[in-house]
C-alpha cells in the first residue's frame, strides 16, 4: 500500500491508516530514501538465536540502535562477536513493523579500526569533509553515452583486465585510454596524481575511472593520500573510483563523483548496455526475491521473539493451579478470621447483657476502700520520713549545732568573723557568740598561730 501524508493537508488524506499500514509505509520510506550506511560502535545485548539470526545493539557514549543480522549474512562474519567489541557494520535502516522499532539490518560486519593508519584515515576524512570536498552539490553526473573512457591504474593489475573485459562485453565500440601508474608503494600517490593530471590536460576521454583491486588497508593506502584526493576533486572530468572490494572505503571514494564497489562495477557504471532492459527486469526480480527474503527474515525474527515469550501450556496450567490453591488458602483464612471476630463480638455483647451482681459490687467497693485507706496511711508516713530526713540533714549543717558543741563565733568591730588571730588588734572590741547568748570583750593580747 502506498500512502502519502503531507503536512498541512490533513483534509486531503484519503483514508485512516492502521498501525500495521503506518509501520509498513515508514519502513518503505526508510528503505527507499536512506542508502546503505557504514556504522561503527560497541556491541551490547548480543543474542545468537537458535534460528541463526543475530540480535544486538550498537552504542556509543551518546546513543544506541538495535540491529539484526540474519542467518545468511551472519555466517560470512569471520569472528564471533562478543559483548563490548568495537565493530564496523554495513547496514540499511528499516523499521521492525511488528513492534514499530527502528533498527539496522546488517549486511556485513568487521572489527573496527586498523591502528594508526585508521586514525590518520579518519582525521583526513574529517578535515576534507569540513572543506566541502565530499559535498553532494559538487558531484557531477556521468555522461549517458561517453565517446571515450579513461582508466587510471597499473598495466599489470588484474583490475585493468576486469575493466577491459567488462567494457568489451558491454560497449565494445567505445575506445578506452589507459593512463598507467603504480597503485601501491611510496611512489604511487605522486604517479596517480600525475596520471589524473595527464587525463585532465589531454581531454581525450569523457569520463575517468580510477581503479585498483582489493587488499589490506596498507595496500590501499595510496588512495587515502591527500594529494590523490585533491587531484580527483580538481579534475575537470567526471571521476568514478572503484578501489578494493565492496566493503573497502578510501578517501578517494568520498571525493569522487561516483564510488563503485569494485573495478568491474566501475566499468559497468560508465558503459551503457544494449541489454539493460533485460538486466533491469532481472534486477527487479532480484529486488522481489530480496524483498521476499527480507519478509521471511522478518517473519523469522517475529518467530524468534514469540518463541522467547511463549511458554509451554503445561507450565501455564501449573502456574494457574498454584494461583488457585493460593486463593483457596487465602479464602479459608479470611473465613476463619471473620468467624473468630464475630464470635468475640458475640461474647462481648453477651457479657454486656448479663444482670449485674450487687454482692460482687459491694465486695469490690470494700476492697477499694481498704486500698484507699492503706494508700493514705502510707503516703502520710512517707512524707513524715522525708521531713525527718530533711531536718536531720539541716541540723548537721546548722551553725547552732556547732555552738552547742562548745564552740564560739568571734566577730570584729565591723561585724566580720575573725578566723585568724593575726587579724585582731590589741584593744579592739569584739563580740563572742555562744550557744546561748553572747559576750562583748576587748582584745588584751594577740597570739598568732606558731608554725
Three-state secondary-structure class, residue 325? helix
The pLDDT tens digits of the residues spanning 392-402 come to: 777 777 777 77
Mean pLDDT of 222-235: 93
Average pLDDT value for the chain: 84
In this predicted structure, the answer to whether residue 12 has a pLDDT above a threshold of 70 is no
Give the three cell numbers for residue 117: 593508519
Continuous H helices in 56-102:
71-74
The pLDDT value given to residue 251: 92
In this predicted structure, the answer to whether residue 211 has a pLDDT above a threshold of 80 is yes
The pLDDT value given to residue 3: 45
Domains and their CATH numbers in the chain? 15-112 (2.40.50.140), 118-136+145-275 (3.40.50.2300), 401-442 (no CATH)
The pLDDT tens digits of the residues spanning 60-70 come to: 888 999 999 99
Cα–Cα distance, 297 to 308 (Å, whole number) = 17
In this predicted structure, the answer to whether residue 240 has a pLDDT above a threshold of 90 is yes
CA 371 to chain centre: 77
Residue 11 binned pLDDT confidence (cut-offs 50, 70, 90): very low
Residue 229 binned pLDDT confidence (cut-offs 50, 70, 90): very high
Residue 57 binned pLDDT confidence (cut-offs 50, 70, 90): very high
Location of C-alpha cell 566493503: 247
Query: 389-422 burial, b for 16+ CB within 10 Å, e for fewer?
Result: eeeeeeeeeeeeeeeeeeeeebebeeeeebeeee
The pLDDT tens digits of the residues spanning 28-54 come to: 888 777 778 899 998 988 999 999 999
The answer to whether the beta carbons of residues 36 and 90 sit under 8 Å apart is: yes
Location of C-alpha cell 488524506: 13
Mean pLDDT of 248-266: 91
In this predicted structure, the answer to whether residue 2 has a pLDDT above a threshold of 70 is no
Residue 189 binned pLDDT confidence (cut-offs 50, 70, 90): very high
In this predicted structure, the answer to whether residue 114 has a pLDDT above a threshold of 70 is no
The pLDDT value given to residue 392: 79
The pLDDT tens digits of the residues spanning 367-394 come to: 888 888 888 888 888 988 888 888 877 7
pTM of the model: 0.40
Residue 216 binned pLDDT confidence (cut-offs 50, 70, 90): low
The pLDDT value given to residue 100: 86
The pLDDT tens digits of the residues spanning 145-159 come to: 899 999 999 999 888
Mean pLDDT of 239-263: 89
Cα–Cα distance, 147 to 173 (Å, whole number) = 9
The pLDDT value given to residue 8: 46
In this predicted structure, the answer to whether residue 339 has a pLDDT above a threshold of 60 is yes
Residue 14 binned pLDDT confidence (cut-offs 50, 70, 90): low
Residue 113 binned pLDDT confidence (cut-offs 50, 70, 90): low
Mean pLDDT of 4-17: 56
In this predicted structure, the answer to whether residue 405 has a pLDDT above a threshold of 80 is no
How far lies 205's CA from each of 141, 147, 152, 196, 319, in Å? 15, 7, 12, 12, 78
Choice between 245 and 133, residue whose per-residue pLDDT is larger: 133
282 CB neighbour count, 10 Å cutoff = 11
The pLDDT tens digits of the residues spanning 414-446 come to: 888 888 877 888 888 888 888 788 888 888 888
Query: 124-151 burial, b for 16+ CB within 10 Å, e for fewer?
Result: ebeebeeeebbeeeeeeeeeeebeebbb
The pLDDT value given to residue 1: 42
Amino acid at each position: 500500500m502506498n500512502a502519502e501524508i503531507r503536512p498541512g493537508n490533513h483534509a486531503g488524506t484519503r483514508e485512516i491508516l492502521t498501525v500495521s499500514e503506518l509501520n509498513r509505509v515508514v519502513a518503505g520510506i526508510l528503505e527507499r530514501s536512506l542508502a546503505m550506511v557504514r556504522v561503527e560502535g560497541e556491541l551490547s545485548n548480543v543474542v545468537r538465536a537458535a534460528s541463526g539470526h543475530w540480535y544486538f545493539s550498537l552504542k556509543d557514549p551518546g546513543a544506541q540502535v538495535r540491529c539484526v543480522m540474519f542467518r545468511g549474512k551472519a555466517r560470512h562474519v569471520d569472528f564471533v562477536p562478543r559483548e563490548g567489541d568495537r565493530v564496523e557494520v554495513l547496514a540499511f535502516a528499516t523499521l521492525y513493523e511488528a513492534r514499530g522499532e527502528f533498527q539496522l539490518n546488517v549486511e556485513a560486519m568487521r572489527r573496527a579500526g586498523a591502528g594508526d593508519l585508521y586514525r590518520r584515515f579518519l582525521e583526513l576524512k574529517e578535515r576534507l569533509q569540513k572543506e566541502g570536498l565530499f559535498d553532494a552539490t559538487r558531484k557531477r553526473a556521468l555522461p549517458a553515452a561517453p565517446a571515450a573512457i579513461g582508466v587510471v591504474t597499473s598495466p599489470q593489475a588484474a583490475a585493468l583486465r576486469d575493466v577491459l573485459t567488462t567494457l568489451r562485453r558491454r560497449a565494445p565500440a567505445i575506445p578506452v585510454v589507459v593512463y598507467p601508474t603504480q597503485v601501491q608503494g611510496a611512489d604511487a600517490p605522486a604517479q596517480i596524481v600525475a596520471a589524473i593530471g595527464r587525463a585532465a590536460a589531454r581531454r581525450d576521454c569523457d569520463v575517468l575511472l580510477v581503479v585498483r583491486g582489493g587488499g589490506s588497508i596498507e595496500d590501499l593506502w595510496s588512495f587515502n593520500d591527500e594529494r590523490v584526493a585533491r587531484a580527483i576533486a580538481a579534475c575537470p572530468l567526471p571521476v568514478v573510483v572503484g578501489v578494493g572490494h565492496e566493503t573497502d572505503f578510501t578517501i578517494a571514494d568520498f571525493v569522487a563523483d561516483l564510488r563503485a564497489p569494485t573495478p568491474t562495477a566501475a566499468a559497468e557504471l560508465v558503459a551503457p548496455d544494449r541489454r539493460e532492459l533485460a538486466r533491469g527486469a532481472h534486477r527487479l526480480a532480484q529486488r522481489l526475491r530480496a524483498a521476499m527474503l527480507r519478509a521471511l527474515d522478518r517473519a523469522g525474527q517475529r518467530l524468534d521473539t514469540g518463541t522467547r515469550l511463549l511458554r509451554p501450556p503445561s507450565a501455564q496450567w501449573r502456574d494457574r493451579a498454584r494461583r488457585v490453591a493460593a486463593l483457596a488458602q487465602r479464602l479459608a483464612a479470611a473465613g476463619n478470621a471473620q468467624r473468630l471476630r464475630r464470635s468475640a463480638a458475640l461474647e462481648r455483647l453477651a457479657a454486656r447483657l448479663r444482670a449485674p451482681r450487687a454482692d460482687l459490687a459491694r465486695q469490690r467497693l470494700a476492697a477499694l476502700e481498704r486500698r484507699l485507706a492503706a494508700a493514705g496511711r502510707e503516703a502520710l508516713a512517707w512524707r513524715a520520713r522525708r521531713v525527718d530526713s530533711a531536718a536531720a540533714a539541716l541540723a548537721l549543717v546548722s551553725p547552732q549545732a556547732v555552738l552547742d558543741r562548745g564552740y564560739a563565733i568571734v566577730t570584729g568591730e565591723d561585724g566580720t568573723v575573725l578566723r585568724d588571730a593575726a587579724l585582731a588588734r590589741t584593744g579592739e572590741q569584739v563580740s563572742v557568740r555562744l550557744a546561748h547568748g553572747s559576750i562583748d570583750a576587748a582584745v588584751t593580747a594577740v597570739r598568732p598561730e606558731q608554725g
